Homo-oligomer: A and B are copies of this chain.
Amino acid sequence: MTPRPSFKIPKIPEMTIRRLSVYTRCLLQLEEDGVKTVSSEELAERFNLNSAQVRKDLAYFGEFGVRGIGYYVSGLKAELQRILGLDREWQVALVGFGNLGSALFNYKGFAHQGFRISVIFDDDPQKAGRTVDGVPILPLRELAQEAKGRNLQIGIVAVPPAAAQAVADRLVAAGIKAILNFAPTRLKVPKDVRLQNVDLSIELETLSFYLAQVSR
């Protein structure tokens, strides 16, 4: 296993990054099942992936395969976790504690992967000032101060569309460089801020495409 130094990494397609997440889950599963080594073909077969795609995606980051053996499951998993930044804990601010915010707060898997929602912001006087599972809910005006004190790195926007840009502006002003936006609206952020939009309609539209194909 000879990972290339990360400062030499070329521009990686976003889909490759997303697939690395999927591969990491597959390797975790194999590790749980006691599997020590796996070939790209076995990985593809078992998890319904494309073996050439697996090799191409991994090749962006180094030579992980060993001739005649394949990949060492635990080693590759650890390497992918490091590449994905999952070898550390990220402090996450959740903005908006309505139904979606609550669902995200309770979502299994975020904490597992090292994403720690350490503070929630919501201006609703019924909510601000309370704590949930030990996590404080604060009014949004305290964001800048908390961002420094808590070393917040990621902001999740779970407010209604009309409020989303103002929230994004505050996150940016507080020095947060990564934003995950669930509001179905287009946000503007500076170039050095990474914005990831989750558009739940796109998932449904993918389904309706296939349904429409079948029903024609």
Copies in the complex: 2
Q: Would A209 and B100 count as touching, CB distance under 8 A?
A: no
**Do the beta carbons of A209 and B85 come within 8 Å of each other?**
yes
CB-nearest residue of chain B to A112: B201
A206 at the A/B interface (Cβ < 8 Å)?
yes
What number of A residues sit within 8 Å (CB to CB) of B? 63
Q: Interface stretch among A9-17, A32-40, A134-142, A165-173?
A: A9-17
A113 with B205: CB separation less than 8 A: yes
10 smallest CB-CB distances across A and B, nearest first, come from A85-B212, A85-B208, A100-B103, A99-B103, A99-B102, A178-B207, A21-B202, A21-B205, A109-B184, A109-B201
Task: Check A200 for interface membership: any CB of B closer than 8 A.
Answer: yes
With both beta carbons as reference points, the residue of chain B lying nearest to A26 in the complex is identified as B186
Contacts of A211 in B (CB 8 A): 85, 90, 153-154, 177-178, 194
When chains A and B are docked, how far (Å) is the Cα of A9 from the Cα of B104?
38
12 residue pairs bridging A and B, Cβ less than 8 Å apart: A6-B213, A17-B209, A18-B202, A21-B205, A84-B205, A84-B212, A88-B212, A90-B208, A104-B200, A110-B200, A113-B205, A196-B206
Q: A100 to chain B: which residues have CB within 8 Å?
A: 99-100, 103, 107
Most buried by B among A20, A88, A100: A100
Cβ-defined partner of A178 (8 Å) among B109, B177, B210: B210
Please tell me if A163 contacts chain B, counting CB pairs below 8 Å: no
Partner of A84, one of B103, B194, B208: B208
Contact flags A120-150 to B (C-beta < 8 A → 1, else 0):
0000000000000000000000000000000
Is A3 close to B, CB under 8 A?
A: no
Complex alpha-carbon distance, A98 and B106, angstroms: 11
Q: Which residues of B contact A98 (CB under 8 A)?
A: 103
